[in-house]
């Protein structure tokens, strides 16, 4: 199945077209989405860990929307990039490691928002549990980027 | 993508810009000393701003120097040894210049909180500026030795002896070997480059979305506290980026995407400086909207940083492929 995905006319276009709008643009959009998604997540994590204390949590709630938008972009572009290289990525351990860390990062974002943002009340102190979530989130996104970057060199 | 400059143009750019670091830092040092004599805090702030801008201007000087070296390669009357020594001296002074620029920025950032330049940082910047002036003047002098027949021929040995005799501990060739001979270095630098980019962009996102008005309910002073994280991300990317440029300079010097990237990087740096010292916005309370100039500043910061990312990612696809 992976091979048939890879041999679809879409995959052929994405990989073999010399157009700047094919592979280069999809890859650049994927990088843009990563930068926005991880950048916003890092800011929320840093705030929970005590940096920028003067920033009320409620005022950065909108960053979650930015994150979901960036994730939607990367789910689409990521699927396109996977399809184009399916038989290489499908069995790649690094690829599935990357996706696992992305999943952990997203779960952390949902949990962080549920625990610290949805009540609408500004917490006086950030709980230890929230800080632990922030640390897991920081590590998960860093690991996802590391695995993603290694895909270009190792896999 | 229209070409900005070919190799010969870049060699000219190098000759045009290469006086800015030396003369700029001497002027900045003069301003800073004057500020001390007059006990004028405002003048100290201006000196830090000038130092930051000169540090920024040194980036195209260094990278255009790589192009100039390629353009001169194998030409008669040019000493290859002199180029190597000049490059090593330039790299060392470039590192000092950027460290000084970084601390000058930190001093500017601290002024927002402390209300005036803090003593320790100001003296650190002063000492580093003196050392940078010496290092950059030495590098410039050695650059002059590359092709100036009127001062060659034994009558003039140069202030620092003959160029080829220099054997400093910073060697561009050594860095190049380190990057190319260890297969883990390039991917590691790439990974750090992406992490640094995300950190930097996260800070730019929160600060500039606040300026534009998309994020509300936080004071500018509160987001101002996060700016050093942005510069920390930039620092990571500057260092890892220099590893790439030094290890494979011909991949970049003749790459139109890289030319655009450096151009946008300089504009983004100026934007970041304006953002740091932007008084009209930083005094506003949490509920207030930034003036139109602030919104434009925020929007241009985001456009410029996305542009830098775009041309970075497009390096292998626009212009010459890797």
Q: Which of B186, B214, B313 sits opposite A31 (nearest CB)?
A: B313
Decide if A145 and B190 are in contact by the 8 Å CB cutoff.
no
> B151 with B189, same domain?
no
Q: What gap in Å lies between CA B122 and CA B51, rounded to an integer?
A: 12
- Nearest chain A Cα to B226, which residue? A52
**CA of A42 vs chain B CAs: smallest distance (Å):** 7
pLDDT at position A104: 98
Q: What gap in Å lies between CA B204 and CA B189, rounded to an integer?
A: 22
Token code pair at residue B236: 């990571």
The last residue of one of the domains, among B166, B198, B215, is B166
Specify if B7 maps to a domain.
Answer: yes
> B92 with B114, same domain?
yes
CA distances from B84 to A47, A101, B77, B289 (A): 46, 45, 15, 53
Token code pair at residue B231: 């510069």
> B132 with B161, same domain?
yes
**CA of B247 vs chain A CAs: smallest distance (Å):** 17
Token code pair at residue A30: 């994927």
Q: Are A30 and A77 in contact (CB under 8 A)?
A: yes
> B147 with B175, same domain?
no
Q: What gap in Å lies between CA A58 and CA A56, rounded to an integer?
A: 5
The three-state DSSP-derived secondary structure of B98-154 is HHHHHHHHHHHHHHHHHCCCCHHHHHHHHHHHHHHHHHHHHHHHHHHCCCCHHHCCC
Q: Which of A41, A60, A152 sits opposite B215 (nearest CB)?
A: A60
The three-state DSSP-derived secondary structure of B229-263 is HHHHHHHHHHHHHHHHHHHCHHHHHCCHHHHHHHH
Q: Are A40 and A63 in contact (CB under 8 A)?
A: yes
Q: Would you tell me how many other CB atoms lie within 10 Å of the CB of residue B182?
A: 10
> B179 with B307, same domain?
yes
User: How many domains are contained in chain B?
Assistant: 2
Best of B1, B113, B218, B231 to disrupt the A interface (most A CBs within 10 Å) is: B218
Which residues are CB-contacts of B259 (< 8 A; sequence separation ≥ 6)? Answer: B4, B5
Contacting residues of B for A20, CB less than 8 Å apart: 314, 317-318
**CA of B243 vs chain A CAs: smallest distance (Å):** 17
Q: What gap in Å lies between CA B161 and CA B70, rounded to an integer?
A: 25
pLDDT at position B148: 62
The last residue of one of the domains, among B117, B148, B166, is B166
Which H helix or E strand runs over B47? helix B41-72
Decide if A54 and B222 are in contact by the 8 Å CB cutoff.
yes
Decide if A145 and B198 are in contact by the 8 Å CB cutoff.
yes
Specify if B255 maps to a domain.
Answer: yes
Average pLDDT over residues A62-84: 96
**Which residue in this structure is represented by tokens 């500020």?**
B35
Q: Are B103 and B128 in contact (CB under 8 A)?
A: yes
Q: What gap in Å lies between CA B91 and CA B216, rounded to an integer?
A: 43
Q: Are A147 and A94 in contact (CB under 8 A)?
A: yes
> B99 with B240, same domain?
no
Q: Is the pLDDT of residue A6 over 80?
A: no
**CA of A60 vs chain B CAs: smallest distance (Å):** 7
Q: CA B243, B131, B118: angle at the middle one, nearest 5?
A: 100
Token code pair at residue B94: 């470039």
Q: Which of A40, A145, A154 sits opposite B205 (nearest CB)?
A: A40
> B22 with B149, same domain?
yes
**CA of B141 vs chain A CAs: smallest distance (Å):** 41
CA distances from A77 to A6, B29, B224 (A): 15, 50, 34
pLDDT at position B168: 63
> B184 with B149, same domain?
no
Contacting residues of A for B226, CB less than 8 Å apart: 43, 46, 51-52, 55
Decide if A40 and B187 are in contact by the 8 Å CB cutoff.
no
pLDDT at position B309: 97
Q: CA B52, B53, B56: angle at the middle one, nearest 5?
A: 90
Q: Which of B195, B214, B306 sits opposite A145 (nearest CB)?
A: B195
> B216 with B151, same domain?
no
- How does the average pLDDT of chain A come out, rounded? 92
Contacting residues of A for B286, CB less than 8 Å apart: 56, 59
Q: What gap in Å lies between CA B307 and CA B261, rounded to an integer?
A: 7
Task: Quote the ipTM score.
Answer: 0.94
The last residue of one of the domains, among B114, B133, B166, is B166
3-class DSSP state of B36 = helix
pTM of the model: 0.92
**CA of B137 vs chain A CAs: smallest distance (Å):** 39
Contacting residues of B for A51, CB less than 8 Å apart: 225-226, 229
> B24 with B146, same domain?
yes
Per-10-residue mean pLDDT for chain B, 322 residues long?
Answer: 81 91 96 96 96 96 92 80 90 96 96 89 97 94 76 48 55 91 94 98 96 90 92 96 93 91 97 91 82 93 97 86 52
Q: Are A38 and A100 in contact (CB under 8 A)?
A: no
> B158 with B193, same domain?
no
- Nearest chain B Cα to A58, which residue? B217
- Nearest chain B Cα to A149, which residue? B191
For chain A, which residues make up each domain, given as ranges? 2-151
Q: Give the number of A-B residue pairs with CB atoms closer than 8 Å.
A: 112
Of A17-31, A110-124, B30-44, the range with the highest mean pLDDT is B30-44
Specify if B90 maps to a domain.
Answer: yes
Token code pair at residue B8: 């010969």
Q: Are B304 and B267 in contact (CB under 8 A)?
A: yes
**CA of B223 vs chain A CAs: smallest distance (Å):** 6
3-class DSSP state of A141 = helix
Decide if B216 and A43 are in contact by the 8 Å CB cutoff.
no
Q: What gap in Å lies between CA A52 and CA B221, rounded to an integer?
A: 9
Contacting residues of B for A35, CB less than 8 Å apart: 197-198, 201, 309
Q: CA B305, B210, B227: angle at the middle one, nearest 5?
A: 60
Q: Would you tell me how many other CB atoms lie within 10 Å of the CB of residue B118?
A: 15
Decide if A35 and B201 are in contact by the 8 Å CB cutoff.
yes
Specify if B322 maps to a domain.
Answer: no
> B144 with B175, same domain?
no
Decide if A62 and B214 are in contact by the 8 Å CB cutoff.
yes
Token code pair at residue B207: 């600060």
pLDDT at position B65: 92
Calculate what percentage of chain A has a pLDDT beyond 90. Answer: 66
Q: Are B297 and B276 in contact (CB under 8 A)?
A: no
Q: Would you tell me how many other CB atoms lie within 10 Å of the CB of residue B186?
A: 17
Decide if B194 and A149 are in contact by the 8 Å CB cutoff.
yes
Where in the sequence is the domain holding B19, given as residue range(s)?
1-166
**Which residue in this structure is represented by tokens 């800015």?**
B20
């Amino acid at each position: 199945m992976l091979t048939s995905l890879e041999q679809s006319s879409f995959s052929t276009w994405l990989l073999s077209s010399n157009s700047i709008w094919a592979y280069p643009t999809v890859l650049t959009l994927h990088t843009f989405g990563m930068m926005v998604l991880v950048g916003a997540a890092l800011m929320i994590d840093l705030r929970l860990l005590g940096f920028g204390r003067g920033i009320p949590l409620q005022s950065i709630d909108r960053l979650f929307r930015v994150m979901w938008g960036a994730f939607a972009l990367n789910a689409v572009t990521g699927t396109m990039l996977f399809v184009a290289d399916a038989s290489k990525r499908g069995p790649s351990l690094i690829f599935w490691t990357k996706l696992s860390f992305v999943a952990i990062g997203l779960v952390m974002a949902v949990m962080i928002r549920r625990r610290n943002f949805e009540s609408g009340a500004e917490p006086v102190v950030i709980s230890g549990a929230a800080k632990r979530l922030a640390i897991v989130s920081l590590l998960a996104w860093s690991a996802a980027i590391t695995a993603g970057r290694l895909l270009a060199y190792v896999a | 993508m229209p070409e900005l400059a070919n190799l010969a143009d870049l060699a000219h750019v190098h000759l045009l810009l290469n006086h800015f670091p030396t003369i700029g830092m001497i002027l900045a040092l003069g301003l800073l000393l004057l500020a001390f004599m007059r006990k004028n805090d405002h003048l100290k702030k201006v000196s830090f701003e000038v130092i930051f801008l000169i540090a920024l201007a040194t980036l195209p000087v260094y990278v255009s120097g790589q192009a100039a070296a390629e353009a001169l390669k194998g030409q008669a009357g040019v000493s290859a040894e002199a180029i190597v020594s000049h490059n090593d001296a330039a790299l060392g002074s470039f590192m000092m210049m950027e460290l000084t620029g970084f601390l000058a920025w930190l001093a500017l950032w601290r002024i927002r909180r402390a209300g005036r330049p803090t003593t320790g940082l100001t003296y650190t910047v002063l000492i580093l500026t003196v050392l940078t002036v010496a290092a950059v003047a030495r590098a410039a002098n050695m650059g002059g030795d590359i092709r100036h027949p009127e001062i060659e021929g034994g009558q003039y040995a140069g202030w620092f002896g003959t160029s080829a005799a220099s054997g400093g501990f910073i060697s561009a060739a050594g860095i190049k070997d380190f990057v190319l001979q260890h297969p883990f270095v390039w991917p590691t630098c790439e990974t750090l480059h992406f992490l640094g980019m995300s950190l930097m962009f996260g800070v730019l996102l929160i600060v500039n979305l606040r300026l534009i008005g998309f994020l509300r309910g936080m004071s500018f002073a509160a987001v101002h506290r996060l700016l050093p994280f942005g510069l920390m991300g930039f620092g990571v990317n500057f260092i890892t980026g220099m590893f790439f440029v030094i290890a494979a300079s011909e991949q970049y010097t003749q790459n139109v995407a890289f030319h655009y990237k450096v151009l946008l990087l300089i504009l983004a740096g100026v934007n970041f400086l304006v953002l740091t010292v932007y008084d009209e916005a930083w005094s506003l309370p949490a509920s207030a909207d930034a003036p139109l100039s602030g919104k434009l500043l925020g929007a241009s910061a985001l456009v410029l940083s996305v542009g830098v990312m775009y041309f970075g990612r497009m390096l292998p696809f626009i212009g010459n492929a890797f």
